[in-house]
Chains A and B, each alone.
Chain A
Amino acid sequence: MQPAEYTKAVGAGATATTDQEDGWTEIIEPRTRLLDLRLKDVWRYRDLVMLFVRRDFVSTYKQTVLGPIWFFIQPLLTTVTYMIVFGGIAKIPTDGLPQLPFYLAGITVWNYFAQTLTATSTVFTANAAIFGKVYFPRLTLPLSIVLSNLVRFGIQFGLFLVAWGYYLMREDSLHPNIYILLTPALLALMGLLSLGLGMIFSAMTTKYRDLAMLLTFGVQLLMYATPVIYPLSQLPVKYKVFIIANPLSPIVETFRFAFLGSGSFSWLYLGYSTAITMVILLVGTLIFNKVEKSFTDTV
């Protein structure tokens, strides 16, 4: 089978000066072209992505009594805590909305971002042992993280919908609107943004471990720079600029506006978020792609 292919290759090559110049299925060289993402490879390994997602779920909740119920407990307890601390004690206004759906909306969206970012940013360091022994497209791991967090988000989103439905029927403080249809786009933006940032961090931490330190509390600080626990409308003008400059703000704000009906929505801000996300995603992919080839030497 192979020899036939080979003769064909040589025969077809007009410039067959050197032997067998054609027909190589792969060439390993020092540096790849900048944009060679090997997406075909990733597609071939799609089963692996799904298996990684499965591994994440099975291994996280094995030997826990409550199992997947933890998916609900975590956001619920956080919401209650926020209601007490920020709503009850600090008395931060919620745009006239009931506290529970207000915080829960913010937390659900924020969790998706924060968890994806934290997990992707340790991809290289956490999997150094595997990466050092076997080649598979490295991009499969961050992709699997985005996906498994998407499932997690789905579950928590269900919880939010239950609470949302309850308030919708009991009171008439919530005013959902047509922008709900934007939800998939918002999710995609969140996912891609966290993926892009995560890849930048994971690639850089292979050499400079300092970034890992920065990230753990950086994510926490970033939450305060995003309208998760406060509505954008309540901000003094001098801070507002900075908060809006954060590409996450319009996403969280739009989500809340669509489902709860208060707050603000602006195509301009959302467009800005999208642009920033694309830039970060591009930079992230480039850096990740460059580092994946030789990170085993520095990690």
Chain B
Amino acid sequence: MSTVAIKVEGLGKLYRLGEIGTGTLSHDLNRAWARLRGKEDPFAIIGETNDRTTKGTSDFVWSLKNVDFEVKQGEVLGIIGRNGAGKSTLLKILSKVTAPTTGSVKVRGRIASLLEVGTGFHPELTGRENIFLNGAILGMTKAEIRSKFDEIVDFSGVERYIDTPVKRYSSGMYVRLAFAVAAFLEPEILIIDEVLAVGDAEFQKKCLGRMKDVSVNDGRTVLFVSHNMDAVRSLCNRAILMQQGMVNMIGPVADVVSKYYEGIKVNMVSEFEIDTQKPSIKSIVLDAELLKNGILSLNIQYISPVKLRPPIAGFVLYNALDVPVFGSNARYHTYEHEPISESEGVLAVLIKNIELHTGLYKISVWLGDGSVDYDAKLEAIVFEYFSDRIYPVKPDPLTIGAIDKVATWKHYEQ
């Protein structure tokens, strides 16, 4: 029988949009008046669900609404969802940084949260002093920190500079030290935001390893919020998909992650309204058939009120972590049939053998004339790529890199 470590019931959080300034006082008085008469908060009623794409009629928005779930002891629960889905608000409430508007969270055990590494680091203090300060802010006692001090320093790898003020540290060293303190927190429940995306690849791997340690070997309850589906998949057993402030799905991690991908609009053709005043991109088309064979073919149609001398386009491909993987520009690479000047046409680019891992990718496109950019369509194309390469163990793009190069290995006797 496993115990429930966290029980969330009917959780909601109301936010006020826009500037908080004049008018606050009158709203406050209004609310106080309503409360005095025992009525409901007049501004809570008109709150709407959290959808940032449509412009609401009310100044108040439910960033979280009717959220219910349970986390069992020793479970590693992933929380995923698009930006603005309410993940951060949920974390903030769970870590007691802000109070909910409705509902409750019941907790069994000590919670520590890592919404950021290095909170409270003071630049003037030395590494040693900051370890103690930061550790205490995160909830450790002096004695606990002292007993883990050597491990922390060892993990961070900044032993030589431990008595130097952290303002003299490189940003990498700073982050290492900060994460090291956090890594040795030992609460019963650990809440982690995407703090992993820090430091160099080697250190990231170390961090992931440490997190696995904490959750799997030590049997702690962990809530893990991330955009990195691979990290979520490898760390968590169950996951929650948040959408517009509500729980869309909760279940085994594989199901929830694929649901998350379903929710993302795959967009291989984009058409745009034309600005007649300036050169603009009319449409962008990614060839879906060629993509299956590992070929990226992009057609960019443009139109311009003046002649472009010459028309130049460029693109950059990003992976799901928003890391640029590769890009091209007609200025850098071979431009066959380059026109001297033209006011409309199609710029086509072809890249063979793209060697990407399976996953979600985005493409942004720019249009210019070699010296000025006239138009930019950010994340105009969104697509999912399925690699046909089969691996006995699936490589994690976060640790092995964004490009999936073919390699052959041999072994020779000495």
Contacts and interface: CB of A to CB of B under 8 A. Distances in A.
Interface residues of B, number: 49
A209 to B, nearest CB: 9
A2 B116 contact: no
A72 B116 CA distance: 40
Interface in B306-357: none
Nearest to B4: A20
A130 to B, nearest CB: 5
B278 interface: no
Contact of B133 (A44, A45, A55, A296): A55
B297 interface: no
A34 interface: no
Given A27-B106, A58-B129, A207-B24, A134 B101 contact: no
A51 B97 contact: no
Given A207-B20, A296-B92, A131 B101 contact: no
A30 B102 contact: yes
Interface string B74-104: 0000000000000000001111111111111
Contacts of A23: 108
A172 interface: no
A136 B116 CA distance: 15
Interface residues of A, number: 42
B10 to A, nearest CB: 11
B165 A62 contact: yes
Interface string A32-55: 000000000000110110111011
Contact of B104 (A19, A29, A44, A55): A29
Nearest to B16: A297
B99 A30 contact: yes
B97 A133 contact: yes
Contacts of A133: 97, 115-116, 119
B122 A296 contact: no
A47 B141 contact: yes
Interface string B93-133: 11111111111111111110101100110101100010011
Contacts of A62: 124, 165
Contacts of A6: 1, 3
Nearest to B138: A134
B142 interface: yes
Contacts of B107: 24-28
Contact of B95 (A31, A52, A135): A135
A287 to B, nearest CB: 14
A165 interface: no
Nearest to A46: B141
Nearest to B141: A47
A294 interface: yes
A134 B138 CA distance: 7
Contact of B100 (A2, A28, A63, A298): A28
Contacts of A25: 107-110
A272 B65 CA distance: 50
A28 B96 contact: yes
A63 B107 CA distance: 45
Nearest to A47: B142
Nearest to A21: B106
A134 B97 contact: yes
Given A23-B108, A134-B113, A296 B97 contact: yes
Given A62-B124, A136-B139, A298 B4 contact: no
B15 interface: yes
A293 B98 CA distance: 6
A298 B20 contact: yes
Interface string A244-280: 0000000000000000000000000000000000000
A164 B132 CA distance: 40
Nearest to A7: B1
Contacts of A208: 24-25
Nearest to B28: A207
A297 B93 CA distance: 12
Nearest to B136: A48
A51 B132 contact: yes
Contacts of A58: 124-125, 129
B137 interface: yes
A135 B96 contact: yes
Contacts of A158: none
A31 B99 contact: yes
B364 interface: no
B49 interface: no
Contact of A134 (B7, B98, B99, B119): B119
Contact of A131 (B25, B97, B141): B97
Interface of A: 2-3, 6, 19-20, 23-31, 44-45, 47-48, 50-52, 54-55, 58-59, 62-63, 129-136, 207-208, 293-294, 296-298
| Minimum-distance CB pairs A-B, first 3 | A135-B96, A293-B99, A48-B136
Interface of B: 1-4, 7, 15-16, 20, 24-25, 73, 92-111, 113, 115-116, 119-120, 122, 124-125, 129, 132-133, 136-139, 141-142, 165
23 contacts: A2-B3, A20-B4, A20-B7, A24-B106, A24-B107, A25-B107, A26-B107, A27-B104, A28-B96, A29-B104, A30-B99, A30-B101, A44-B141, A47-B141, A50-B142, A55-B125, A130-B119, A130-B120, A133-B116, A134-B113, A134-B115, A296-B98, A297-B16
